[in-house]
Amino acid sequence: MTSLNTYRGGPDEGGHFGQFGGRFVAETLMPLILEVERAYTAAKADPSFQAEIDYFAKHYVGRPSPLYHAERITEHLRRGDKGAKIYFKRDELNHTGAHKINNCIGQMLLARRMGKKRIIAETGAGQHGVATATVCARFDLPCVIYMGEEDIERQKPNVFRMKLLGARVVPVTSGSRTLKDAMNEALRDWVANVDDTFYIIGTAAGPHPYPAMVRDFQCVIGNEVREQIMEMEGRGPDSLVACIGGGSNAIGLFHPFLDDKNVRIFGVEAAGLGLDTDKHAASLTGGRPGVLHGNRTYLLQSDDGQILEAHSISAGLDYPGIGPEHSWLKESGRVEYVSSSDAEALEAFQTCSRLEGILPALEPAHALAFVVKLAPTLPQDHLLVMNLCGRGDKDVFTVAEALGTEI
């Protein structure tokens, strides 16, 4: 484990977090991502850009989202004199029901500054697709969402939502017909429509500057947590927990705290049917470094470097890669990466619904499943913050099916 002055300094000019990240894209896209980088650098330096984001975050998204003391879960996980005090960061209360909108507002405002006339995006669970379609409706730009055929089947409510919002949802039939293929297809669209199109990537992955840019837009989560917990507890948190698909909600919570040496940080990947099977989505705990979708990062891949299909009960975690900053945070030892299985997430989903009156999305249910294991081992004055990054309405069909119930 290296000891650094700061864990918050990345990426470098080439978009690298240690050996991870970079700009591994076709020449056709290179001028575009350089243009996005220039535009984003300029926007960041312009106070009116942040002011615009803040305005929409407050009045349209509904920020700040509450930091909520989950009292009944806390009680439920007490063992003798042990049992951490559990807080939920309620990003599921955002407009559109997940953290994804934080990023979409930011990228949309950037796309407008750049004069782009058409928006494309990939989506897995459909949450990012819905958030993108939402901002496209609000800012009156045509919207094309690429979504794997497989995901369209298991996320029907979100597909219809996107259509109601005026987006065109294009089924992706190539490869494994899930999120990675949707991203391939969006990149193909972008290559063919470079002049007028902005690609709103939905997670902290892709070529530089996306991982850093998406992180920046999601850091509102961690920044709010810091203020809120100071107000409620008079001090900072002791540990942070978030689920990881591509890693955007997690990096948004983690990044502001990376240099708070006493804060333990846990990223929770999807273990699907188990890490000892080939049906999981845990790129960090079950994969190895490779290059996909514009960056070097941990990937699920065969011995020959072919990308493998990921599996998770949660479509939003079903991605064989992960944002490059997480790969670096793993190798540097700053963040601990663990995993929860389909079954554990399903159990946590029900626990949260019954005890707190909150249907969590299946994605943060993975984070909660880890909290269920972690909290009982910690002292009662230990402050644990979990990112409840999405609500579970979209998942009721999946959950019903998994529980063998017909609705």
Ligand X SMILES: Cc1ncc(COP(=O)(O)O)c(C=O)c1O
Q: Which does 388 bind (CB under 5 to 8 A by kind): ligand X, other proteins, none?
A: none
Site string for other proteins, 5-24 (x = CB under 8 A): ---------x-------xxx
Pairing of strands 294-299, 20-24: antiparallel
Does the footprint of ligand X cover residue 106 (CB under 6 A)?
no
Closest CB 3 distance from other proteins, rounded Å: 26
Closest CB 192 distance from other proteins, rounded Å: 3
Does the footprint of other proteins cover residue 30 (CB under 8 A)?
yes
Instruction: Using DSSP, state whether 319 is helix, strand or coil.
Output: coil
Does the footprint of other proteins cover residue 191 (CB under 8 A)?
yes
Site string for other proteins, 137-176 (x = CB under 8 A): -------------------------------------xx-
Q: Which does 23 bind (CB under 5 to 8 A by kind): ligand X, other proteins, none?
A: other proteins
Q: Which does 382 bind (CB under 5 to 8 A by kind): ligand X, other proteins, none?
A: none
Closest CB 36 distance from ligand X, rounded Å: 19
Does the footprint of ligand X cover residue 363 (CB under 6 A)?
yes
Judged by CB under 8 A, which of 8, 9, 26, 235 binds other proteins? 26
Does the footprint of ligand X cover residue 361 (CB under 6 A)?
yes
Our CB check for other proteins shows the closer of 181 and 342 to be 181
Closest CB 342 distance from other proteins, rounded Å: 24
Our CB check for ligand X shows the closer of 16 and 366 to be 366
Does the footprint of other proteins cover residue 39 (CB under 8 A)?
no
In 3D space, the residue among 117, 158, 161, 122 whose CA is nearest the CA of residue 139 turns out to be: 117
Does the footprint of other proteins cover residue 234 (CB under 8 A)?
no
Our CB check for other proteins shows the closer of 70 and 299 to be 299
Q: Which does 359 bind (CB under 5 to 8 A by kind): ligand X, other proteins, none?
A: none
Site string for other proteins, 294-333 (x = CB under 8 A): x-x--x-x-xxxxx--------------------------
Per the structure block, which two tokens stand in for 269? 């990947």
Q: Which does 127 bind (CB under 5 to 8 A by kind): other proteins, ligand X, none?
A: ligand X
Q: Which does 223 bind (CB under 5 to 8 A by kind): ligand X, other proteins, none?
A: none
Closest CB 186 distance from other proteins, rounded Å: 10
Give the 3-state DSSP-derived string for the chain, with helices as H, strands as E and coil as C. CCCCCCCCCCCCCCCEECCEEEEECCCCCHHHHHHHHHHHHHHHCCHHHHHHHHHHHHHHHCCCCCEEECHHHHHHCCECCECCEEEEECHHHCCCCECHHHHHHHHHHHHHHCCCCEEEEEECCCHHHHHHHHHHHHHCCCEEEEEEHHHHHHCHHHHHHHHHCCCEEEEECCCCCCHHHHHHHHHHHHHHCCCCEEECCCCCCCCCCHHHHHHHHHCHHHHHHHHHHHHHHCCCCCEEEEECCCCHHHHHHHHHHCCCCCCEEEEEEEEECCCCCCCCCCHHHHCEEEEECEEEEEECECCCCCECCCCCCCHHHCCCCCCHHHHHHHHCCCCEEEEEEHHHHHHHHHHHHHHHCCCECHHHHHHHHHHHHHHHHCECCCEEEEECCEECHHHHHHHHHHCCCCC
Per the structure block, which two tokens stand in for 158? 């979100």
Which chain residues interact with other proteins by CB under 8 A? 14, 22-32, 174-175, 180-181, 184, 187-188, 191-194, 289-294, 296, 299, 301, 303-307
